[in-house]
Amino acid sequence: MKRLRIKIVGQSGMGLLSVGEMFIDAFNELGLFVYSDREYPSLIKGGHSCFTINISDERIFSLSEFADVMIAIDSVSLSAYFDFLVEGGILVHGMEKPLSIKRILEKAVDKNVKVIHLNAREVSKESGGSVLMQNTVLVGMAWKVLGLDIAGIEMSLRKRFAEKANVIETNLKCLNAGYDRVDSANLGSNFVKKLSDKKIEKKFLIDGNKAIALGAINCGVRAYFSYPMSPSSTVLTYLADISEKTGMIIKQAEDEITAAQMALGAMYMGTRALVATSGGGYDLMTETISLAGIMESPIVVVIGQRPGPATGLPTWTMQGDLNLAVFSSHGEFPRVVLAVSDSIDAFYLIQHAFNFAEKFQVPVIVLSEKTICEGKINVGTYDENAVEIERGLVAADELVNVKREDRYALTESGVSKRWLCGESEVYHITNGDEHFVDGAVTEEADEVEKIYSKRMRKIETIKKSLPKPEIFGTQKEAEISFVGWGSSKNVMRDVIENCLEKGMKVNYLHYSFVWPIDEESLKDFFKNNKNVHLIEENYLGQFGNLAENCGIKFDGRLLKFNGRSFFVEDVMNYIDKNLQK
Amino acid sequence: MNENILKNLAWNAGNYMKFETERPQTWCTGCGNFGIQNALKRALVLEGFDQKNVLFCFDVGCSGNGADKIEGYSLHGLHGRVISLAAGAALANENIKVISFGGDGATFSEGPGHLIHAVRSNYPMIFVHHNNENFGLTTGQASSLTKKGAKMNASPDGVFLDPINTMDFVLGLKPSFVARGFSGDIDYLTELFRKALRHDGFAYLEVLQSCPTYNRDTPEHWYADRVKHIEDAKNYDSSDIWQARKLVEDLNDEIYTGVIFEDKSKMNFLRAIPNRKNTKTVLKDEVKRYGISEFL
């Protein structure tokens, strides 16, 4: 599997995001598969940031740590990232005084790096452009280096500046000037030639947050309550931006406690409401999750994970909040924890989350990760009818038969009848205090035991309804296998392909429903595979520990907790070290 | 209470009884909560509400223990959070009147943030603050509304901080409806509940109530001697925020009850939110499959 790896580096606030998006949009239109993510510090101006793009003519799911082409907007970021440029790679920069990167340029010679340079500011000025438009010159230069036809990037630029008609023409001039003054290095044309024979299916570049928002809209979510927090904030922004069309109520609440409480109240009343936050915001919601647990009222909360504790690394990624999702809140109650892995499954899993919450009347926590929240991949079309909407409500024609004691009736499954406020004259009390079958408060020992057991019986019922975890790979006689969740799937899919090309078999068991754990599938996987390892982005191996409680033992643990997601190389190196001789 | 209303109540005795519970009462004899729930039940019946169109939302505390003392759909939530829980419910189905209740701790210790933003957002709901000037259910600690100098559980030398003036606080938030009643003045409180039920927006109703067990400084007769009706204030205009703020300054001698302030021009949240100006349905009935292709 051939991929072209590009890193665009620059300080925050210098238009890095804009440049990156112009590229991925153009690649997408050419029919190339794209995986892109960005690294940036938690500030508005300054620091060093990086927009990474990997492209291929086959589907790719994760990023390489390294770059074949580095496009540098400023010297500070270039210094920080230069070592990731491979031997023999290409550096594109437009700095006015190349002296400022003298040492980098020396290193470039040593590494046999080809340097493509124009004084971008000067070129921009000559083309009638402003200081800011030197980025456009740089884009033109890089596009030429890739050996691609100017039309592709021109179209992307026009789209980007569609609402700023007065600067389009000047930007186009700058783009062309940059393009024309560089000798082609012809890196990308290999892909493009191959593609010209293929029929290009229309694809959209979508990040995980947008996928969750779209999935929520698709399954009838009508309200969104949230307090801004990276990396989930763009769910709020996005849903607000399209609220005129969706008619959804989008409420930026005064805090996370409110957001969770409002969602619980709205779901109780019978609509579907979504909440998204990050680990720190979720901390404030835990009392509400506990309340939902005893009320047996549905609630769905998305945690976009970033490294903690406390403010931690606000703009980086991790799988550090699984224990939080599984064990948060006082008291014991059943819950379901799901984990999305990319912009494709996020669309469907958020819909399953609402079905599970409503059918089993439990809190459902959906884990995402910063790299998924903001990572963009090409998505074809979503199947808008793939996940049936299941409300778990008493049918309208059966409402006449409900009795007060039905609401929390002591059923075998633990799930009792749920009907909405005002739907029947037979009312119920939805009580945060311990209660008996009609919801009225009780502290009697016998009754407490009965209702408590009834609630907890739902855990077994839920386990029986869980979809099986998916196995990626060859499935027979793999030399090494992995188990994981969340974004680990993405790197594993690329690793499995890479290894196959080398004649090596690798399997991967992926959990989308991480809690409760489907134990049988785990045990089967261990029965059918030797040399099984954990892959997880945290220090403790949180999922690994939960899994080992089921009686299995991992042969090794691949863990990472530095705020960066797994790169293909991380796993390849680990495999090299851990292959059974 | 005038004769017509009495007749009306008598005709609707059946409906009134539907709200009455057979469950044992757990409030102290003489607790103001009895008066508050009685006035509420009367007002509900007189305004034509029944079990199918009203939701009661309770905070935690002595007021919260009312959750299963009135028959109807009810939610009994967490301490300090009832306003947000009720607001979510109110936004999801406007056709159900949402009435929420909280005590001193909920309103002025754990949850003032929620109160501030509910007033600002003007959610279509009622919030009733049971003001008994202490924490009853945790056995009589001072609240932020307890009179200075009062010796309370955990304040053996007497409370040394000034109490918050609740009405002044709420009036500072540009509210749309602020009223105050007294649990021992049930007829008048009934009328206040009726006005709150008719209000389109966030109705804040404070009820001064005695706590016979823990609040010895301001017992029933202390209030009875001081409480006045706003109709007796000379030239009082309840649409004038400055008259209102002046009127509520006094917490010790002449304590006025009634609709203290009302701004009928302020739109409730569901009318004000721009993207639903022309929407006739409620969120509860809108849960269905929606196409997303236009957003790709």
- Which pLDDT score is estimated for B50? 95
B119/A contact by beta carbon, under 8 A? no
Whether residue A230 is found in the same domain as residue A141:
no
Name the pTM for this structure.
0.96
Q: What is the mean pLDDT of residues A57-70?
A: 93
Compare all CA atoms of chain A with the CA of B274 and give the residue at the minimum distance.
A244
- Which pLDDT score is estimated for A469? 98
Q: What is the mean pLDDT of residues A354-378?
A: 97
- Which pLDDT score is estimated for A186? 66
Percent of residues, chain B, with pLDDT higher than 70: 100
Do B84 and A265 make contact, defined as CB atoms within 8 angstroms? yes
B74/A contact by beta carbon, under 8 A? yes
Q: Is the pLDDT of residue A60 over 60?
A: yes
CATH code assigned at A79: 3.40.920.10
Compare all CA atoms of chain B with the CA of A385 and give the residue at the minimum distance.
B289
CATH code assigned at A573: 3.40.50.920
- Which pLDDT score is estimated for A474? 76
Compare all CA atoms of chain A with the CA of B86 and give the residue at the minimum distance.
A265
Q: Is the pLDDT of residue B258 over 90?
A: yes
Pull the structure tokens for residue B231.
Answer: 């109709």
- Which pLDDT score is estimated for A197? 57
Whether residue A453 is found in the same domain as residue A434:
yes
CA distance A535 to A562: 14
Question: Of A144, A167, A200, at which residue does a domain stop?
Answer: A200
Chain A residues lying within 8 Å of B86, measured CB to CB? 265
Pairing of strands A376-379, B54-58: unpaired
Q: Is the pLDDT of residue A580 over 80?
A: no
Chain A residues lying within 8 Å of B68, measured CB to CB? 429, 431, 439-441
B100/A contact by beta carbon, under 8 A? no
Q: Is the pLDDT of residue B90 over 90?
A: yes
CA distance A212 to A344: 9
CA distance A19 to A7: 11
Q: What is the mean pLDDT of residues B164-168?
A: 97
Q: Is the pLDDT of residue A136 over 90?
A: yes
Q: Is the pLDDT of residue A192 over 80?
A: no
B118/A contact by beta carbon, under 8 A? no
pLDDT in tens, A465-502: 999 999 999 768 899 999 999 999 999 999 999 999 99
Find, among B45, B43, B42, B40, the residue nearest to B57 by Cα: B40
Compare all CA atoms of chain A with the CA of B61 and give the residue at the minimum distance.
A433
Chain A residues lying within 8 Å of B20, measured CB to CB? none
Q: In the structure, what pLDDT confidence band is assigned to residue A44 with cuts at 50, 70 and 90? A: confident
Whether residue A236 is found in the same domain as residue A98:
no
Q: Is the pLDDT of residue A47 over 60?
A: yes
Task: Among A124-133, A407-416, B178-187, name the one with the lowest average pLDDT.
Answer: A124-133
Q: Is the pLDDT of residue A196 over 60?
A: no
Please give the residue range of the domain that contains residue A482: 470-578
pLDDT in tens, B146-158: 999 999 999 999 9
- Which pLDDT score is estimated for A405? 97
**Preferred mutation among B95, B120, B284 to probe A, highest tally of A CBs within 10 A:** B284
Q: How far apart are the first and last CA of chain B?
A: 62
Q: What is the mean pLDDT of residues A63-83?
A: 94
pLDDT in tens, A418-431: 999 999 999 999 99
Q: Is the pLDDT of residue A77 over 80?
A: yes
Looking at the DSSP bridge assignments, the partners of residue B178 are B204, B261
Please identify which residue in the block is written with the tokens 């607001």: B87
Mean pLDDT of chain A: 94
pLDDT in tens, A381-414: 999 999 999 999 999 999 999 999 999 999 999 9
| Distance between B42 CA and the closest CA of chain A, angstroms | 19
- Which pLDDT score is estimated for A184? 72
Do A271 and B86 make contact, defined as CB atoms within 8 angstroms? no
| Distance between A6 CA and the closest CA of chain B, angstroms | 25
Residue A389 within any structural domain of the chain: no
Do A247 and B275 make contact, defined as CB atoms within 8 angstroms? yes
Q: What is the mean pLDDT of residues A498-518?
A: 96
- Which pLDDT score is estimated for A233? 97
Which among A265, A267, A389 has the least Cβ separation from residue B289? A389
Which among B95, B116, B284 has the least Cβ separation from residue A271? B284
Find, among A334, A6, A311, the residue nearest to A185 by Cα: A6
Whether residue A25 is found in the same domain as residue A96:
yes
Please identify which residue in the block is written with the tokens 């009810």: B74
Whether residue A144 is found in the same domain as residue A229:
no
- Which pLDDT score is estimated for A454? 98
CA distance A489 to A62: 9
Contact A466, A435 (CB under 8 A): no
Pull the structure tokens for residue A374.
Answer: 């903001």
Q: In the structure, what pLDDT confidence band is assigned to residue A194 with cuts at 50, 70 and 90? A: low
Do A254 and B68 make contact, defined as CB atoms within 8 angstroms? no
Question: Of A350, A379, A408, at which residue does a domain stop?
Answer: A379
Compare all CA atoms of chain A with the CA of B284 and give the residue at the minimum distance.
A271
Percent of residues, chain A, with pLDDT higher than 70: 97
Q: What is the mean pLDDT of residues A523-548?
A: 97
CA distance A118 to A270: 61
Pull the structure tokens for residue B196.
Answer: 């709150």
Compare all CA atoms of chain B with the CA of A379 and give the residue at the minimum distance.
B296
Chain B residues lying within 8 Å of A217, measured CB to CB? 290, 292, 295
Percent of residues, chain A, with pLDDT higher than 90: 87
- Which pLDDT score is estimated for A1? 58
Residue A106 within any structural domain of the chain: yes
- Which pLDDT score is estimated for A12? 81
Whether residue A338 is found in the same domain as residue A445:
no
Residue with the bigger pLDDT between B68 and A188: it is B68
Which among B73, B77, B286 has the least Cβ separation from residue A271? B286
Whether residue A418 is found in the same domain as residue A474:
no
**Preferred mutation among A261, A287, A295, A379 to probe B, highest tally of B CBs within 10 A:** A261
pLDDT in tens, B119-128: 999 999 999 9
Q: In the structure, what pLDDT confidence band is assigned to residue A276 with cuts at 50, 70 and 90? A: very high
B95/A contact by beta carbon, under 8 A? yes
Chain A residues lying within 8 Å of B50, measured CB to CB? 425
Whether residue A492 is found in the same domain as residue A459:
no
Whether residue A255 is found in the same domain as residue A293:
yes
pLDDT in tens, A335-362: 999 999 999 999 999 999 999 999 999 9
Contact A436, A451 (CB under 8 A): yes
Q: What is the 3-state secondary structure (H, E, C) of chain B?
A: CCHHHHHHHHHCHHHHHHHCCCCCCCCCCCCHHHHHHHHHHHHHHHCCCCCCCEEEEECCCCCHHHHHCCCCEEEECCCCCHHHHHHHHHHHCCCCEEEEEECHHHHHHHCHHHHHHHHHHCCCEEEEEEECCEECCCCCEECCCCCCCCCEECECCCCCCCCCCHHHHHHCCCCCEEEEEECCCHHHHHHHHHHHHHCCCEEEEEEECCCCCCCCCCCHHHHHHHEEEHHHCCCCCCCCHHHHHHHCCCCCCCEEEEEEEECCCCCCHHHHCHHHCCCCCCHHHHCCCCCCHHHC
Whether residue A353 is found in the same domain as residue A287:
yes
Question: Of A437, A465, A493, at which residue does a domain stop?
Answer: A465
Which among B71, B88, B294 has the least Cβ separation from residue A262? B88
For domain B27-295, give the CATH number.
3.40.50.970
- Which pLDDT score is estimated for A38? 92
Do B55 and A422 make contact, defined as CB atoms within 8 angstroms? yes
| Distance between B177 CA and the closest CA of chain A, angstroms | 21
Q: How many interchain CB pairs under 8 A, A with B?
A: 191
- Which pLDDT score is estimated for A42? 84
**How many domains does chain A contain in total?**
4
- Which pLDDT score is estimated for A367? 98
Chain B residues lying within 8 Å of A244, measured CB to CB? 274-275
Whether residue A455 is found in the same domain as residue A515:
no
